[in-house]
Each structure stands twice: as C-alpha cells, then as structure tokens.
Amino acid sequence: MAKDRKIDLVILGLLAHEDLTGYDIKKNIDRSISFFWKGSFGSIYPALSDMEKQGLVKRNESDNAGGREKIAYHLTKKGKDALKGWLKEERVSNELKYETLLKLYFGGVEDRSVTIRNLEVFEESIRQNLEVLQIYKSNLEKVLDEEDHLYYYLTVTFGIDTYEAYLKWCAKSKKLLKK
Amino acid sequence: MAKDRKIDLVILGLLAHEDLTGYDIKKNIDRSISFFWKGSFGSIYPALSDMEKQGLVKRNESDNAGGREKIAYHLTKKGKDALKGWLKEERVSNELKYETLLKLYFGGVEDRSVTIRNLEVFEESIRQNLEVLQIYKSNLEKVLDEEDHLYYYLTVTFGIDTYEAYLKWCAKSKKLLKK
DNA sequence: ATCAGCATGTAAGGCGTTACATGATTCA
DNA sequence: TGAATCATGTAACGCCTTACATGCTGAT
C-alpha cells in the first residue's frame, strides 16, 4: 500500500463489505462519506491497479454478459489484514482546512459587513448539509439493530453534532460583530 | 496569484498586518492558525517568489546589518486588492479530512473494542488541543477591545465550540458502543 | 434517434510535503 | 565549543484533481 495514499484504505474498507467496481466505489464514497472524505476516478482506478499488483485486491471472474467490461474487485486475505492493521494503528491524520476561518481571521482588512456576509454564506451551506444528515439519521435509527448501520450512524451523528455547534457559533459571532 | 494555492492568501493576509520574512510567516502560521491551516517552508518560499513576480508583494530594502540576508516582504497595492477581492468572494472550500471518522465508519471489520480505543485516542488529542485554545481564549478576552484581536478570538471560539461538541459526541458514541 | 447514466481509464498539471544543503548567530 | 535557533532556498517525490478519450445501455 502506498504510504500516504488514504484512498487505499477507503477502497479496502468498502470492499470489506461487498465486491465493487471502481465506478461503484466512487458512488459509495459520494453517497455515504463525502461529508468527510472525497475520491475521484483519477485516484480510484490507479489505486485499484496498484493494489492489485500488491495482492491486496483481486478482480472477480468477469460475469459481464456480452456487455462492456465491468470489473468488480474483492479483498484478498492480505488486503483484509492490511485493513485490520490500519484500524489498530493509533496514529491518525485529522485535518481541517476551512477557508471560511481563514477569511474570518483576516477579516480586519475589510469592513465588518464582509465578515458577517461570509459567516452567513457558511451558515447557509451548513444548514443545508445538516438537513441531509438529519434525514439520514432518522432513516438509520429504524435499522440500528444491524451492526453495520451503527457505524454509519455514528459518523452521521458526528456530522450533525458538529454542524449544530457551527450554527450556534455563527449566531454568537454575528452578534458580537454587530455590536 | 496561483488559482488554487491557498498559501498565497495566508501570506497576503499576514503581510496586511505587518512586514514579515518567510521564516516569520511560518512561525505566525504555526502559532496562530495551525489548528485549521498549515504551511511549510517548501511552500512558503516558492509562493513568495511567485507573488513577487506577479507584483503582489515586494522585498523591503535590506536592513540587515552585515549579518545573513533576511528578506522581509510587504504588500503592494495590487496585493492588498487581491486580498480584499478574495475576502469578498463567496465561493469557499471548506474541507474536513478525518481519518478517525474513516476508521469509525469501517469499524465493523474489527471488534468493537478497537473502535472504542480509536475514539479514546481522538478524545485525548482533542482534549489537549482544547486546553491550549482555552488559554488563548482567556488571554484574548483581556484585549478584545482591539479590532484585530476580535477576529482571532472568533477563530479560537470556533475551535473551542467544535472541540467541545466532539468530546460530547465521543462520550455518547462510546456509551452506545459499550451497550 | 438522442441523451443521461454506466463504466474504465490516461494525461497534464498543480499543490504540498519531506529532506537536504548551507551558513550565521546566540547562549550556556 | 557545541547546540539550538534563525534563515533561505532547492530537489525529489507523492497525491490528487480536472479534463479528456472512448464506448455501451436503457429510457423517452
């Protein structure tokens, strides 16, 4: 596995659950974890090739009935071990890169109204994301007895809780700036 | 300015406040905004050269008394305009890349105790960061009458509020996993 | 027939990190 | 005198994104 290529772990993790094509991997990322992780075709396909060379994943026997090639992959033993090894590693990289905070920090260069506007733009996007996550949450709550859903549920509540904290902070900050 | 090179904006923003050398820029980033933005020498020095070519920043007359070269930069009019233009743009890129959430999402592959351990590692690092931010906050509260400090204060409270939300979520999640 | 979505891949290029090279100054 | 810090820069390399190339399939 490439040393710092996190997309490898995403692929390994998704394949642990079910066999997938590169295209499906992309869809899964977009649907389920895009609020804290992204992936593009340009990173997924090369990663799959590399990982196959390293024996972490393997192509399934092609079952494409005449149609265009469709290459699904599954995890090998080595791949599953790599995934488990990573889960047990304590070193993690958690990184937040918020341009909004940068604009806020340098807000003094412009009129306060500019910063207030920037806060409102941020607020609006958070509110939208929050709505989506809340729908996910209520759907997940109906099926929480299944172990797999529990982990998804936890990431969703992470999103909801932090977004709610953001909104409270926005309100507070706007108030302070308007004084 | 390079299209997507955010380090340029950091440099512009810092120089709006005072003239700085590349070395000082790095120190400023590490001291003040590192919890949401990073920068390395390998990105700062080339960015300064580029931006000088583009007329956004300019070297000060060298005032180094015989010693080793020490190159401080200041903003040009064009540089200040670029900074203000960016502040008024509504498009922002806010990105969260938390490996902890990835490990959580794929936690089903291993025993629950592994996920709980990962949550505890996260909790511990957040608690430490929170302590630092709380010290910053109480220092800043004493000097909040100065406009510059207000903006810094707002980014610090952002950090505190979100970290506190993280900790609450950690406690809740651990409880759920231990059931 | 045509268009959206399925599906795989490559190429170019940008951004950033780490490590290295180099040397001065300051303080114990 | 030796170590830490100040200070500037380059080189190698890795990761990722965007855009492009290509073609099938199914619905309207």
Question: pLDDT at position A64, please?
Answer: 56
Condensed to tens digits (0 to 9), the pLDDT of residues A74-132 reads 999 999 999 999 999 999 999 999 999 999 999 999 999 999 999 999 999 999 999 99
Condensed to tens digits (0 to 9), the pLDDT of residues B112-146 reads 999 999 999 999 999 999 999 999 999 999 999 99
CB A75 within 8 A of CB A12: yes
Strands in B20-21's sheet, in edge-to-edge order, are B20-21, B72-75, B57-59
Same domain as B128, residue B170 = yes
Residue that is last in its domain, among A88, A113, A141: A88
Question: pLDDT at position B66, please?
Answer: 47
Question: Residue A83: closest CA among chain B residues belongs to which residue?
Answer: B109
Q: Which domain holds residue B69?
A: 6-88
Question: pLDDT at position A2, please?
Answer: 79
CATH number of the domain that A27 lies in? 1.10.10.10
Question: pLDDT at position B179, please?
Answer: 87
Q: Which amino acid is at A87?
A: L
Bridge-based pairing state of the strands B57-59 and B72-75 = antiparallel
Number of domains within chain A: 2
Same domain as A69, residue A10 = yes
Residue that is last in its domain, among A35, A54, A88: A88
Same domain as A84, residue A10 = yes
A contacts of B162 (beta carbons < 8 Å): 162, 165-166, 169
Same domain as A80, residue A18 = yes
Q: How confident is the model at residue B3 (pLDDT cuts 50, 70, 90)?
A: confident
Average pLDDT over residues B58-78: 81
Same domain as A128, residue A60 = no
Interface of A with B in 9-28 (CB under 8 A): 9-10, 12-13, 16-17
Q: Which residue has the higher pLDDT, B33 or A65?
A: B33
CB B126 within 8 A of CB B166: yes
Same domain as B106, residue B65 = no
Asked whether the beta carbons of residue B94 and residue A95 sit closer than 8 angstroms, the reply is no
Same domain as A122, residue A61 = no
Q: Which amino acid is at A98?
A: Y
Predicted TM-score of the model (pTM): 0.95
Assigned domain for A24 exists: yes
Assigned domain for B58 exists: yes
Same domain as B133, residue B62 = no
Average pLDDT over residues B162-169: 98
Q: How confident is the model at residue A68 (pLDDT cuts 50, 70, 90)?
A: low
Same domain as A64, residue A106 = no
Assigned domain for A114 exists: yes
Average pLDDT over residues B78-89: 97
Question: pLDDT at position A1, please?
Answer: 79
Closest CA to A14 of A31, B157, B44: A31
Same domain as B110, residue B79 = no
Assigned domain for A93 exists: no
Average pLDDT over residues B57-71: 74
Assigned domain for B140 exists: yes
Q: Which of B35, B80, B114 lies at the smallest CB-CB distance from A87?
A: B114
Query: What CA–CA distance (Å, rounded) separates A163 from A130?
Result: 6
Same domain as B130, residue B162 = yes
Average pLDDT over residues A37-45: 97
Residue that is last in its domain, among A33, A66, A88: A88
Assigned domain for A94 exists: no
Assigned domain for B23 exists: yes
Assigned domain for A78 exists: yes
Same domain as B110, residue B74 = no
Average pLDDT over residues A42-52: 97
